[in-house]
Amino acid sequence: MKMNPILEIKNLHAKIGDKEIIKGLNLTVYPGEVHAIMGPNGTGKSTLAYIIAGKDGYEVTQGDILFNGKSILDMSPEERALEGIFLGFQYPVEIPGVSMTNFMKAAIDAQRKYQGLDPVKPGEFLKMYREKQALVNMPDKIKNRSVNEGFSGGEKKRNEIFQMAMLNPKLAILDETDSGLDIDALRSVAEGVNKLRNKDNAFIIITHYQRLLDYIVPDIVHIMYDGKIVKTGDKELAKELEAKGYDTLVKS
């Protein structure tokens, strides 16, 4: 028996202002799968991530996005998050004066409320916090700092994976989580993801380079170009891409 897809994107067209960025994109993701989306700068990879997460400023002109069989186009960003969509940001924003623990407690409680549960007990919360920190090798001192404020590039990215671990989403989209990371940071980010992989959740990894895919082995690799997925294959496709470059592969 074939499982139902977690995510189904059907003939998606979207624009910012008058400029069409996504031009008829199709993508189906099943539970347990890790998809990689590769492609050159400016092809709409990040835009796609934002549209799935519901960011303001993009207009979907055609097509649909189904999450667990339901269209999410009319849902607010927080509703989508609460339904189980997580976006790991390429450039995590700083929120001065808001401590990591306060922020995470509020996020966890929002999720629990959505599920009809009482707020998490402080002791329980801190225990979970420590466990997940360990999972992504986050230094403990960071929990008293303001969200992303004064974090190094690597800490910011690790922090995204940490938040993902805390919120345990059904679908995680990681937008260039590997960019600007040294090899150690890359490894701990990848380890975090691998530990969280299971048969019920799914990942979409957006990246330029095949480097991250040495550590997180994808089931399916897509090449995105000019607002569309132009090629789909297995992990070998990423290697081929690395060897031949986008131009050759896309035009062949």
Partner 1 sequence: MTTKEEHQDKVLKEVTEQEYKYGFQTNIEMDMFPKGLNEEIVRKISEIRNEPDWVLEFRLKAFHAWQKMEKPQWAHLQIPEIDFQDLIYYAKPKPKKKLNSLDDVDPEILEVYEKLGIPLEEQKALAGVAVDAVFDSVSVKTTFQKELKERGIIFCPISEAVRDYPGLVKEYLGSVVPYSDNYYAALNSAVFTDGSFVYIPKGVKSPMELSSYFRINSAGTGQFERTLIIVEEGGYVSYLEGCTAPQRDENQLHAAVVELIAKKDAEIKYSTVQNWYPGDKEGKGGIFNFVTKRGICKGNHSKISWTQVETGSAITWKYPSTILKGDNAIAEFYSVAVTNNYQQADTGTKMIHIGKNTKSTIISKGISAGYSQNSYRGLVDIKRSAVNSRNYSVCDSLLMGNKCGAHTFPYIDIENHTSVVEHEATTSNISEEQLFYLQQRGLDEESAINMIVNGYAKEVLNQLPMEFAVEAQKLLEISLEGSVG
Answer yes or no whether residue 110 interacts with partner 1 by CB under 8 A: yes
CA-closest candidate to residue 188, choices 210, 164, 162 = 162
CB of 17 to partner 1, least distance (A): 9
Hey, which residues between 124 and 183 contact partner 1 (CB under 8 A)? 146, 163, 167
CA atoms within 13 Å, Cβ hemisphere of 9: 19
Which range in 37-45, 65-73, 107-115, 194-202 contacts partner 1 by CB under 8 A?
107-115
In whole angstroms, give the CA distance from residue 21 to residue 14.
6
Answer yes or no whether residue 98 interacts with partner 1 by CB under 8 A: yes
In whole angstroms, give the CA distance from residue 171 to residue 193.
12
Answer yes or no whether residue 102 interacts with partner 1 by CB under 8 A: yes
Answer yes or no whether residue 86 interacts with partner 1 by CB under 8 A: yes
Answer yes or no whether residue 24 interacts with partner 1 by CB under 8 A: no
Answer yes or no whether residue 90 interacts with partner 1 by CB under 8 A: no
Which range in 64-72, 96-104, 150-158, 228-236 contacts partner 1 by CB under 8 A?
96-104
Answer yes or no whether residue 96 interacts with partner 1 by CB under 8 A: yes
- Per DSSP (E only), the strands in the chain are 7-16, 19-29, 34-38, 59-67, 70-71, 85-88, 95-99, 146-147, 171-175, 202-207, 220-225, 228-233
24 in Cβ contact with 227 (< 8 Å): yes
Report DSSP state, residue 212.
G
Hey, which residues between 27 and 66 contact partner 1 (CB under 8 A)? 53-57
Our measurement of the distance from residue 169's CA atom to the centroid of its chain's CA atoms, rounded to an integer in Å, reads 10
CB of 211 to partner 1, least distance (A): 26
Residues whose CB is less than 8 angstroms from the CB of residue 191 and which lie 6 or more positions away in sequence, other chains included: 136, 137, 215
Complex with partner 1: residue 57 or 123, whichever CB lies closer:
57
**Number of other CB atoms surrounding residue 72 within 10 Å:** 20
Options 16, 61, 71, 106; binder of partner 1; rule CB under 8 A: 106
Answer yes or no whether residue 76 interacts with partner 1 by CB under 8 A: yes
Complex with partner 1: residue 114 or 215, whichever CB lies closer:
114
Q: Which residue has the tokens 């957006």?
A: 206
Which range in 31-39, 78-86, 175-183, 213-221 contacts partner 1 by CB under 8 A?
78-86
**Number of other CB atoms surrounding residue 93 within 10 Å:** 9
Answer yes or no whether residue 75 interacts with partner 1 by CB under 8 A: no
Positions that interact with partner 1 (CB under 8 A) = 53-57, 76-78, 81-82, 86-87, 89, 92-93, 95-98, 102-103, 106-107, 110-111, 114, 146, 163, 167
